[in-house]
Structure 1
Amino acid sequence: MIKELTINADSCYRLAEEKAEQYFKILYTQVTEKTYVPTITKDIQAWKHNHLRHPLFSFFMRGKGKPDSWEYHKYIQWMNQSGKLDNYLDRSIAYIFMRDLGKALDAPDTKTRINKSVLKIKKHLIQSTKMDKTETFSMANLYRMAQKDGVESAMIWVIDKLKTVSSNIPKELDGAQVQRKIIKLIAGVIMQEVIEMGSDISQDERTRRLDKAIRLGYYYGLTYPFIDDLLDAKILSPAEEKQYSELIRTTLTTGIVPKLGVWRGSNKELIQYIHSELRDAFQYIKGQQQGEARNYFFEQSYLFFHSQEVDRAKDLSYEKYTNEEIYIPVILKSASSRLIVRSIISATPNEDIDNRLFYYGIYNQLADDFADMFDDLEAGAVTPYTYYLKYHDKRPDLINPFELYWTVISYLIHNVYRSDSKTCEIILNRAINGLKRYKERMGTKKYNEVMELLAQGHPDFNRIIQKMVQKADDVDFFDKLLRDHMLTNLKNEKIEEDEFLTTIETVREEINTILQIPKSEHDFLTNEKITDAANYSLAGDGKRLRPVVTWMMGIHEFRLEQTAIVPLLKSLEYMHTASLIFDDLPSQDNANIRRGRPTLHHKYTSAIAELTGLFLTQKATVEQTALTQFDSKAVLSLIQYSSQTTAEMCKGQAMDIDSKGKQLTLEQLNLMSYYKTGLAFEASLLMPAILAEADEAKKDSLKQFAYHAGIAFQIKDDLLDVEGNLERLGKPIGKDAENNNSTFVSILGIDGARKAMWEHYCLGIEALELVPQNTTFLKHLLKYFVNRDH
């Protein structure tokens, strides 16, 4: 195949390197001559008046209870009640406009946009804290946000993609951090797109561009875990790293993704998945760009990748790296990482913005490297800080990275941002906040040891800085709060999900041990097949979701005795299995396979199957009468509810049979799904509530949840019938179309069905907010319903 050369890699890198060298020479002169010290000292003297508390104020504020920042909603509430929220959001949004968008804060348009953003975010935060929505990054909240701009399809796509990434990344990579980075980069691309599109476009065009930005952000975000983090984590062997790096390099310099070819190494399966995802990512991004914008994307991507490779190849044991060798790649990679985002969305060329992003990058990188210096040192990575820590006493020529950090701050404030007062305020806020956070994380003793080393070149200046670290207030930022909150949510979500899946499997295995129906002496004498047929159906590889839900609700939420509800668990599975037997009959769905095995009428006969279904429904009632440890009125009420539910489910199945060959309305399909699926699920929630004699309001909330969960479950079934896998499902796919059934897919299409499923998911989650019990299990159950593949 003839490869079309997209960029001249060597020339591209050399030109960028020359610009970085010029920038470094300026910084080198200022840091060695310490000209930054009087400049920044003067800035701090002016800045500190707004950030040092008066001793009398501090006395009166004692015990006022400022919450820890990890208490996200309480912290926001405190900020609002203390009158600090406006300034907090203003500096936070302004910082993002500088860091990510390359904006000058003294520009009138930027000021207007920041003010509007502050008002919008403040309104959202106050509403969310009033409603006590603790799960800021829940799928329901994200989907509701997407609906406002009509980008539900893109959000569903991203949720599915993130789920796939989480299940495929190696354990050495932090799954929560991977998701956080991707979400952050999606947000960054969306911000760039919003700024580019302005506010005077049609809603349809806005939706189209936001949809594209979400997908671009995800695909760009993949490069961090799948390229940067993967190569840093030493998961691949040296030979695999070399082969993988060459693959990335070839892609960026030719514009063509090479075939993977023969992969010799233990990580073949991982690389095959990554290659497939990155190929799709590269082709999508490339397809969205034309002409110069495409070349600019290739150039910035290559600069980022190659400068990372240059840094990654460094060996901490090598003593002779020059200052230029240490810092030039840092300048290049930190600048290009932000310039790539503008190239991805084909932003209008703007030299001023590009320059600001170029000069700003190293400030952020030095701050990050400072925070991670000991982790990097342990990993043997070469950064300005690790190299200085290791060789400062042997190499007096080495630049102190902490001094360079303040030099960069001085240069940004006075040379890049023209001594703008708000820029000075925000950059100093950020610098002091970074030190405060580091001190809190590392502890005072370790922090002082680090400062003693890094600040020894100018102790007077360091005393000023440390005074600010100790006493300065109102220097925290919303993006850090959001970052910590997101990580906490993602990690807790993973822990809860693992516990949920373990619980499901553990309880399922226990339930399997109680389901078999013993044969009576009479059965043996008559060679009666009904019990055998019932046990055959019960022994199938069922999920047992209904009795599992009843187990969890009964024992953990309503505090019922485990042994006391065993008859109820058996009753629910007998009823459910009976419904499946009837559903599979030739007179109804005429299914051949159920739970991975031949259906009962194939194993025996249709007559035996019909009788077995009736036998199991009666056994279910018998089990309910064995609930002798509960109040008799409650048991009677349960039997009445169970009988009514069974009757309604029969109506639903009759509706299903009658609907074959007919085009149902969405309302009719919702009703039929509720009768067929939702009612059985409702029963698993309501029966333990009835035994626990729960109040009507609680039961009504559970009914509402069950209604939406049941329909979401049915929609997922319909989607799996189109998109599923026979091996995973345990039953053939395509049966709905074969039987000419009306389904959510046939009525709404695949995309519409997915949206309807997620709408019912959100409504189900919102119904749970009215249930006073701990609903963690039910939230994960509903999540399982919409994410399952079988």
Structure 2
Amino acid sequence: MNELITIQANTWYQRAEQKAVQYYASLQTRAMDHMYVQTLTTDFQLWKRNHVPRSWHSWLPRGSKTPDVLGYHQYIGWLNRTGKLDGYLDRSISYIYMRDLGKALDSPDTQARIEQTSADVKKYLLRYTGTKQGDPPDFMSLAGLYRWAQKESIEDAVIWLIDKLNRVSAHIPQEMDAEHAQRKLMKIIIGVVLHVMDELDDSLSADERSKRLDEAIRLGYSYGLTYPFIDDLLDSEILNTGEKEQYSRMIRTALLTGSVPESGEWDGENREFIQYVYSELREAFEYIRNSQPPETINIFFEQAYVFFQAQDLDRAKELSHPAYTNEELYLPVILKSSSSRLIVRSVIGAPGDESFERRTFYYGIYNQLADDFADMFDDMKAGAVTPYTYYLQYSKQRPDLMNPYELYWTVISYLIHDVYRSDARTRDIILNRAINGLKRSKERLGEIKYNEIINIFASGNREFNRLVQRMVQQADDVDFLDKLLRDQIITVLRTSRKEKDRFIDTIHSVRREINQQLQIPKAGEMPPVRNSLIDAANYSLQGDGKRLRPVLTWVMGVNEYGLEPAAIMPLLKSLEYMHTASLIFDDLPSQDNAPTRRGRPTLHQVHNSATAELTGLYLIQKAVEEQSSLSGFEATAVLALMRYSSQKAGEICMGQAMDLEARGQMLTLEQLNTICFYKTGIAFEACLVMPAILAQVNETEITALKKYAYHAGIAFQIKDDLLDSEGEISLLGKPVRQDVENNSSTFVTLLGHDGARRAMWEHYCRAVEALNDIPRDNAFLKHLLHYMVSRDK
């Protein structure tokens, strides 16, 4: 960086640091004089009237009335039944307006907005309290997110976001906490959207509202990406010291010049990952920069630089260093905690507000000190320097060190009385939050460890601490929705990752088993013609097929219906024989005229069309033979399965005939859906319904399975059409843009790329909604559906 840029960087940081110096000096004086003790003692006496029950038996722990025990849906229902939900939402939404939106609660306009938002959230929450135990809340699902997008007419932005989040998730290395990184990214996106929604008013047209929400989603992702791919990456051990320095220089240069520098040379195992991160961050940076109005662009760069520099200074500290001053410990904390929220306003180009900036600047350290207290032992284990870890390490040798716990209460007192003008509602919210944080820490650490820590940090004010701990023990109704959602998001992400791993393991293990059984053996002395037909069949079966259909049947049959794996193996083989036969016919010159399939030349290319036709017919007969060999099931069930299988095979042929007849014609969406269902959806339906027939499940469940299969099949076909128009032959294993060359109507040619994506997600949502009528664990079917719409081949 040249000299002028260096001067600018120093000016930006020194200007922010001066404000932090003044703020810290004021806090330090108040903390050392214990000015907060008497003030907060009076505040707690007023506060406890609404939060400490008067009868002794109501002080007992709620035990079974916690989210951990009841589960998310039941907990919301319990709050509603006991009349606690309104207060719960009021304090939760009020806190978000203070923390995330920088609002003062004594404003009539803010109070009205909080009341309306609380009412809207209540309606939304109560719609889904009956969801099956273990299922995530609707608004945490992709289907719920897309339904909201449809309501706001921002489907394209949400589809874009889902694709981005999928790629981020796929690229986060094992050395980083994937769930934590994803949660922070989603939290930032939600925060930016909330800021924008708070700026919207009823005078806006529907188109303008949609436009602003679309931009908010893209801006939220672009800004939020800095957390996993800058903060978390630099905090991790993935990069070595030299790489971290090179990476930090790139970030500084971008913020100080407004232009992303070239990535430079990256060697070793991190090269591919860094290239992805660089590309994604560059795109995000340029989107934010280009979205900024000229009058706020410099404010954004300045605040972003201050935030990064404060983070970098904190990151460089080492716990083994015994001589950090209080200012060195606390000034970066003040700056990074306030800058992170101030940036959001500049990112969305919201008008400046001196009172907002003042409140946000003073408020930040309150949240940061609370978070650092909660993460104290994780930080200690990682060797990270925070005010708490440093005090634990050196307080006995360094009597000059500021006690962060005392400073925390000092900040609370300062916020209530100096920043928010002794507003009663604000006092209630802030003290609720403080006691809730201590309650959560006590539950997480255990009473012995918690008391040990409190005795270290609160030893200077024992009487005040006794008061606080009585509130921790006795106070009720101090829970917050954002904490519940935070825990739920982490649970959903972890559960989803485990289910995804099981989904992949199941596919691989069952696929291996099926592949071992698929080859058709040659018996004794056979005529050469028959041998060549078997060779042709085995050639087609040996291709790198996904085997999704028999895998799906195995999962439903074995995992859901309890059928014996060996007993249904003939059914699995029959499904793959019929599917492979259909592909052989599809690929023929008289139909799709495809040169490759499953990464290899098609059968008619290796042999000839006549052999391919006969091989397809042979495989269909082998499928019937396998189904007739099913044993251990009632004969009526096997006959019903074979009848159903024959009907579906005929319908698939009809679908292919309709597809051939439609070439060169402009189809309607209804016609395309019909053809798609007959060609693809019926095969998915058969995989689900055939094991259900063997298990003799009720007709209601079979109807739900058929509905799921219908929409899943169309979603799968739309994805195929998108891949055909956009994909790479090296990934797909078959030619791309084949539909265009064959003059075929597809969802892409009919609806365009964006319209096809929207249609795919509509069918995705309908398939997910169909699963709610299936009284079984449907995790595999959900992940299968997600795989269908997110695959790259």
- The TM-score, its normalising length taken from structure 1, stands at 0.98
The residue number in structure 2 matching 1:205 is 208
Superposed counterparts of 1:263-342, under 5 Å: 263-264=266-267, 266-342=269-345
- The separation in 1 between residues aligned to 2:712 and 2:268, in whole angstroms, is 44
Contact 2:304 2:339 in 1 (8 A): yes
Measure how far apart 1:107 and its partner are: 0.4
- The separation in 1 between residues aligned to 2:786 and 2:162, in whole angstroms, is 11
The residue number in structure 2 matching 1:40 is 40
Alignment: residue pair count: 790
The residue number in structure 1 matching 2:760 is 757
The residue number in structure 1 matching 2:80 is 80
Measure how far apart 1:629 and its partner are: 2.4
Q: Deviations over 1:194-224 (max 9, x none)?
A: 1112232111111110011011111111100
Contact 1:3 1:256 in 2 (8 A): no
Q: Deviations over 1:392-426 (max 9, x none)?
A: 11111111110000000010000000000000000
Contact 2:65 2:75 in 1 (8 A): no
- The separation in 2 between residues aligned to 1:57 and 1:146, in whole angstroms, is 47
* Pair 1:722 & 2:725 matched: yes
Contact 2:435 2:478 in 1 (8 A): yes
- The separation in 1 between residues aligned to 2:60 and 2:70, in whole angstroms, is 24
* Pair 1:677 & 2:680 matched: yes
Contact 1:709 1:760 in 2 (8 A): yes
The residue number in structure 2 matching 1:156 is 159
Q: Deviations over 1:164-223 (max 9, x none)?
A: 111111111111111111111110000100111223211111111001101111111110
- The separation in 2 between residues aligned to 1:553 and 1:585, in whole angstroms, is 33
Superposed counterparts of 1:110-129, under 5 Å: 110-129=110-129
- The separation in 2 between residues aligned to 1:353 and 1:62, in whole angstroms, is 38
- The separation in 2 between residues aligned to 1:124 and 1:674, in whole angstroms, is 34
Q: Which of 437, 461, 465 is the aligned partner of 1:458?
A: 461
Contact 1:27 1:404 in 2 (8 A): yes
Q: Which of 168, 171, 196 is the aligned partner of 2:171?
A: 168
The residue number in structure 2 matching 1:13 is 13
* Pair 1:740 & 2:743 matched: yes
Q: Deviations over 1:656-694 (max 9, x none)?
A: 111111111000000000000011111111111111122
Are the structure 2 counterparts of residues 552 and 699 from structure 1 closer, same or farther at C-alpha, using a change threshold of 3 Å?
Answer: same
Q: Deviations over 1:417-449 (max 9, x none)?
A: 000000000000000110010010001111111
The residue number in structure 2 matching 1:366 is 369
The residue number in structure 1 matching 2:93 is 93
Q: Deviations over 1:687-712 (max 9, x none)?
A: 11111122211111111111011101
The residue number in structure 2 matching 1:656 is 659
- The separation in 2 between residues aligned to 1:640 and 1:2, in whole angstroms, is 79
Contact 2:59 2:475 in 1 (8 A): no
- The separation in 2 between residues aligned to 1:650 and 1:779, in whole angstroms, is 28
SS of the equivalent of 1:211 reads helix
- The separation in 2 between residues aligned to 1:146 and 1:293, in whole angstroms, is 29
Are the structure 2 counterparts of residues 216 and 64 from structure 1 closer, same or farther at C-alpha, using a change threshold of 3 Å?
Answer: closer
- The separation in 1 between residues aligned to 2:412 and 2:742, in whole angstroms, is 70
Q: Which runs of 5 or more structure 2 residues have no equivalent in the other structure?
A: none
- The separation in 2 between residues aligned to 1:347 and 1:59, in whole angstroms, is 46
Which piece of structure 1 moves more, 133-142 or 406-415?
133-142
Are the structure 2 counterparts of residues 336 and 7 from structure 1 closer, same or farther at C-alpha, using a change threshold of 3 Å?
Answer: farther
Contact 1:151 1:211 in 2 (8 A): yes
Q: What amino acid sits opposite 1:46 in the alignment?
A: L
Contact 1:4 1:254 in 2 (8 A): no
- The separation in 2 between residues aligned to 1:66 and 1:319, in whole angstroms, is 42
SS of the equivalent of 2:225 reads helix
Q: Deviations over 1:295-348 (max 9, x none)?
A: 111011000000111111122222221111111111111000000000000001
Contact 2:652 2:679 in 1 (8 A): yes
Which piece of structure 1 moves more, 263-272 or 751-760?
263-272
Q: What amino acid sits opposite 1:314 in the alignment?
A: K
SS of the equivalent of 1:510 reads helix
Q: What amino acid sits opposite 2:241 in the alignment?
A: P
Q: What amino acid sits opposite 2:502 in the alignment?
A: E
The residue number in structure 1 matching 2:31 is 31
Q: Deviations over 1:344-392 (max 9, x none)?
A: 0000111110110000000000001111112112222111111111111
Q: Over the residues paired in the alignment, what is the CA RMSD in angstroms?
A: 1.8
- The separation in 1 between residues aligned to 2:65 and 2:336, in whole angstroms, is 42
Contact 1:196 1:348 in 2 (8 A): no
Are the structure 2 counterparts of residues 7 and 648 from structure 1 closer, same or farther at C-alpha, using a change threshold of 3 Å?
Answer: farther
Q: Which of 688, 694, 697 is the aligned partner of 2:697?
A: 694
Q: Which of 697, 704, 714 is the aligned partner of 1:711?
A: 714
The residue number in structure 1 matching 2:246 is 243
The residue number in structure 1 matching 2:511 is 508
- The separation in 1 between residues aligned to 2:62 and 2:769, in whole angstroms, is 39
Measure how far apart 1:580 and its partner are: 0.2
- The separation in 1 between residues aligned to 2:242 and 2:6, in whole angstroms, is 27
Are the structure 2 counterparts of residues 3 and 317 from structure 1 closer, same or farther at C-alpha, using a change threshold of 3 Å?
Answer: closer
Q: Deviations over 1:724-747 (max 9, x none)?
A: 121111101110111111000011
Contact 1:7 1:253 in 2 (8 A): no
Contact 2:522 2:531 in 1 (8 A): no
Contact 1:13 1:303 in 2 (8 A): yes
Contact 2:59 2:473 in 1 (8 A): no
The residue number in structure 2 matching 1:591 is 594
Are the structure 2 counterparts of residues 526 and 591 from structure 1 closer, same or farther at C-alpha, using a change threshold of 3 Å?
Answer: closer
Which piece of structure 1 moves more, 196-205 or 212-221?
196-205
Contact 1:581 1:613 in 2 (8 A): yes
Q: What amino acid sits opposite 2:650 in the alignment?
A: A
SS of the equivalent of 1:548 reads helix
- The separation in 2 between residues aligned to 1:570 and 1:62, in whole angstroms, is 55
Contact 2:59 2:474 in 1 (8 A): no
The residue number in structure 2 matching 1:218 is 221
Superposed counterparts of 1:390-539, under 5 Å: 390-521=393-524, 523-526=526-529, 528-539=531-542
- The separation in 2 between residues aligned to 1:57 and 1:185, in whole angstroms, is 42
Measure how far apart 1:264 and its partner are: 4.4
Measure how far apart 1:59 and its partner are: 8.0
The residue number in structure 2 matching 1:135 is 136
- The separation in 2 between residues aligned to 1:741 and 1:2, in whole angstroms, is 59
The residue number in structure 2 matching 1:766 is 769
Q: Deviations over 1:2-53 (max 9, x none)?
A: 9996992211111111111111111111011111111111101110111111
Q: What amino acid sits opposite 1:720 in the alignment?
A: L
- The separation in 1 between residues aligned to 2:268 and 2:63, in whole angstroms, is 60
Q: Deviations over 1:265-321 (max 9, x none)?
A: 542222111111100000000010121211111011000000111111122222221
- The separation in 2 between residues aligned to 1:440 and 1:334, in whole angstroms, is 26
- The separation in 2 between residues aligned to 1:272 and 1:577, in whole angstroms, is 39
Are the structure 2 counterparts of residues 258 and 178 from structure 1 closer, same or farther at C-alpha, using a change threshold of 3 Å?
Answer: same
Contact 1:172 1:233 in 2 (8 A): yes
Contact 2:73 2:131 in 1 (8 A): no
Contact 1:66 1:78 in 2 (8 A): no
Are the structure 2 counterparts of residues 264 and 549 from structure 1 closer, same or farther at C-alpha, using a change threshold of 3 Å?
Answer: closer
- The separation in 2 between residues aligned to 1:729 and 1:656, in whole angstroms, is 21
Are the structure 2 counterparts of residues 14 and 739 from structure 1 closer, same or farther at C-alpha, using a change threshold of 3 Å?
Answer: same
The residue number in structure 2 matching 1:606 is 609
Superposed counterparts of 1:101-112, under 5 Å: 101-112=101-112
* Pair 1:577 & 2:580 matched: yes
